[in-house]
Amino acid sequence: MRYRVFIRSWWKVNKTGNWPNNLEPHCGRKSTLRWANSEAEARAIAQQYNATHNPGRLSRKAEFEGC
């Protein structure tokens, strides 16, 4: 099985005043980072990305899924 490692945000800006800090929960679009041949490799890629990149206000982080 192959694994897709991707990046997405978990919040979006909503300036209607209905959300605390103007952030609304939102699963963002998946942007492929890399493909991996094992779950262990996919996990390592995602962990390395998350350790070296600031998730910022929108909590942009790497994840993976089996394909």
pLDDT of 2 over the 90 cut: yes
Full-model pTM: 0.89
Write down the pLDDT at residue 63: 98
Whether residue 4 contacts residue 39, with contact meaning beta carbons closer than 8 Å, is answered with no
47 lies in which domain range?
A: 3-66
Tally of domains in the chain: 1
- Tell me the residue ranges of DSSP E strands in 21-60: 23-25, 31-36
Where residue 41 falls among pLDDT bands split at 50, 70, 90?
very high
Closest by Cα among 26, 23, 46 to 34: 46
**pLDDT tier at 17, thresholds 50, 70, 90:** confident
**φ/ψ bin of 11: left (φ > 0), alpha (ψ from -120 to 50), beta (otherwise):** beta
